[in-house]
Amino acid sequence: IQVVSTQKNAVALDLDVANNRVFWCDRFHRKIYSAFIHEASDPSQQVPLVDSALQSPVGLALDWLQHNLYWTDSGDKSISVASVDGTKRRVLISTELSEPRAIALDPHHGFMYWSDWGTQAKIEKAGMNGVDRQVLVSDNIVWPNGITLDVANRRLYWVDSKLHLIASVDLNGAHRRTHLSSAERLGQPYALAVFEDRIYWTDREREAVFTANRLTGQDIHTLAEHLNDPHDIVVFHQLRQPQGPDSCNLGSMANGGCEYLCLKAPQITEHSPKYTCACPDGQDLGPDMRGYVAQSSDEAVLLSEPLHLLPSTTPSNPTHTLNPSDPHTHNLSLSPPLPPALSVPRMPVVLLSVPVISRHGLVLPLPIVATVVFGLLCAGVYLVWRNWRRNSTKSMNFDNPVYRKTTGEGEEDEIHIGRTDAMGHHTHHHTYPSGVGVGVVGAGGGTCPQFIALPLGGSMPDPGTHWYTEQPMLSTAK
């Protein structure tokens, strides 16, 4: 039975079983369409959902719980998401993708899976909000054209057109198993589906659809043949899309309170958030993480070359105007605009942030606020410590003793440092403050005198230490 006719190059499709709808990508028209299955043969009932900024959409998957549509684009090498009506969309992943192809979703646990048959072929996994990305399969894989999930048994299946095999791993990338490997049986397998104990796949070389036992790889049958370049294949059954809660509409707030997109978050632990809000491309979430702030060209300038600042003629208080015509879109206009010399290349290296005025009020970049608060805190701690150190430190000042060097043959140069009780006996001696001397306890238990002679260089040092029982003084003659 032909469901959808008059298609140029339909390469990917998925189903909404509960609502009896079909979604598909047309690479020739560069659009994503939708229609009710019983009306899909009528071209007037085929509704284009995404009809702009598509280059080569090749993979498609429906989140039947949160009602979002995901697709891969091998032209701009990205993975994107849109609401099921196509009014809201966002690019989730656009880095380290070479030739993204098939995509599959696990809406109950919040993960998406996709294949990449580029120079470094691999199968990857990430949260349905684009976070927690990781590689599942990267060894012994060349052309992983099609993937599918066996949700009941928690496994991921793929076909490799170059190696002529069908294999699977668990949803963490472990316990790999090859179900069928045969260049005769698998000419150029392109897409596959799994339901209960059967595997179904399309073969572009043989222009047919085949099935086999998924446990043994045996019992191979031809379901349809003489097809014109068959691409994708899906199974239409209620068990294929088990029902569950819509995480974005569990509470009293519709769409999770998100102003734009509400995306299922990966359920890594029991404390993981159920969903996250997402904003349009080029815009940022506001402080409440539900609304978004329009990002103007003077809020963030991404540069791939050294920055050259030009003299600015922007007034000190530029006017910011929000466009209220669209309830989901807030356009921020600045008057006057930035000079044309400041452009935004594709390779981001430097990010410059300045405050913008939004419907949430003045938003300051968090790094600047944190730096200022940390600096003030450090300055306060230093001032308190310095004041405590100054108040708790006691010091005594001593006058430099007046001494004169006395030399003699066969005698060492010495400085005699002593303490006098009065100045009446020797008027030319230096007076030391009382209590400066150090008492040393000798072996006999008594206290040694408080004066010591220190030898200076110039002659052989005296191996013995000279102790004086009287107050020594600096003599002027031998």
Contact 165, 181 (CB under 8 A): yes
**0.85 surpassed by pTM:** no
| Among the listed residues 136, 133, 75, 72, the one whose alpha carbon sits nearest the alpha carbon of residue 101 | 72
pLDDT of residue 473: 53
Distance of CA 333 to the CA centre of its chain: 30
Q: Which residues contact 466 (CB under 8 A, 6 or more apart)?
A: 414, 452, 453
Helix (H) or strand (E) holding 149: strand 144-150
Reading the block at residue 178, the tokens are: 């090859």
pLDDT of residue 185: 92
pLDDT of residue 370: 80
Q: Could you give the count of Cα atoms lying within 13 Å of 302 in the half-sphere of its Cβ?
A: 9
Q: What is the pLDDT of residues 357-375, one digit of tens each?
A: 333 444 445 667 788 888 8
Q: Where are the domains of the chain?
A: 10-240, 255-293
Q: What are the DSSP calls for 295-313, one per residue?
A: --TTTEEEESS--------
Low pLDDT (below 50) residues in the chain:
297-364, 399-400, 402-416, 418-469, 474-478
CATH topology of domain 10-240: Neuraminidase (2.120.10)
pLDDT of residue 74: 96
Q: What's the alpha-carbon Rg for the chain, to the nearest Å? A: 41
Class of domain 255-293: mainly beta
Reading the block at residue 38, the tokens are: 């019983």
Reading the block at residue 342, the tokens are: 């400041």
pLDDT of residue 189: 96
Q: Which residues contact 329 (CB under 8 A, 6 or more apart)?
A: 280, 323
